[in-house]
Structure 1
Amino acid sequence: MTKLRKQRRRKVYKHNVNRKRLRNRQTSKGSIGCKEIKNAWDQKKSVQANLSEMGLSYDPNQTIKIPKRKKQLQEAIGVIKNDGQVELDKSGKQSKKYIAEALEADAKAPREKKFRLPKSQVEWLTYLIKKYGTDYKAMARDSKNYYQETWKQLRQKIRTFRKIPEQYEEFLRESGVQPIDSDGNATDDEL
């Protein structure tokens, strides 16, 4: 009787599982984020075949093998001769090596920094700069310092704010405050 009870307990239907979504998740190959790979992807081929055609690595452990210590010693003695590199594409099929080059060029391209501070934090920092200038210890004692940030934390936030030219220059234009140099002192010249 215990055997039947265990079998019955194991076969409980789970009402909270969406079977269709579960099946789709198991059978899908995932979405490809890179447009170069997405355009050259062949749905009829396996992942490994697609990546090897593009000149990309499916398994980095196979592509860049870590040499065994025993083999290194044998090569040093002269038992095994080192052949050099192994050719990846031995078949006469058309390869898609240009994709690896395009990915490399895209990775090396300079990126535009899009870091911006939130509007609320910019307002808070501009309020502090207008009221106290560079007196960070007075900023820390301000009654509106709700998060109880220390003077060093506030100094670092203001330095970060100054490194974002779009937001800091807009602040300088709107208020007649002089720019602050890297030492925390007010400068005479505009940016």
Structure 2
Amino acid sequence: MVAHSHHKPEKRKVKKVSSNPRKRQKQERKRLNPLIPCPIARKAWNDRKSVALNFRNIGLVFNLNKIKPNRYKPRDESSDKRKRPVRNKSKALQRYEEAINQANEKEGEDFKIKISRAEIDFSKAMIAEYGDDYEAMSRDTRNYFQETPNQLQARFKKYYRYKDTPQAQKRVRLTGAVPKVHHARNKKKKEEAKHKKMRLKIKRIVRKKK
């Protein structure tokens, strides 16, 4: 008598396909339009080609192990002497690099140094009169906050960083011209002229009373 096996044959796994037409359409779109965050790479992507071939066309490497050098492989000195052909960058990679450079330039323009109009005028006046003599600056009557020479030097470092930026050029264009710097000597002359006028006025009043 032959014993019959009750073991059932394994069924072949079949990929489930949704009966819902909308769901099938969504799955098809997802297959044809992979989620690629970079807009330039997404535009250059070809759905009819493999992932590795798409990477090669964009200028990227799909398998990093292929470019990793073998540390145990003996080095051939003659191969070093031969010049390897320079691989041209793809247009998609060039556009990607240009977009990054433009973003970096814009980021540099958007960066602004926080400095007030009063700080700019004060820094210009002190530098025009004393140069880099911070000791003399600290004794000036316009040093209202009684800053030390080291504090003044740190303040003017910020001004030097500011004056060569596009931010400073933009402020000059908006105001129309560079603001005038009032030096201590000019201020002293104005005060002397004012006192002189007052003395003459007092003398006239005294003469009239006599």
What interval of TM-score do these two structures reach, taking the shorter chain for normalisation?
Answer: 0.3 to 0.5
Give the structure-1-normalised TM-score.
Answer: 0.43
Larger Rg computed on CA atoms? 2
Higher helix share: 2
| TM-score for both structures, normalised by structure 2 | 0.40
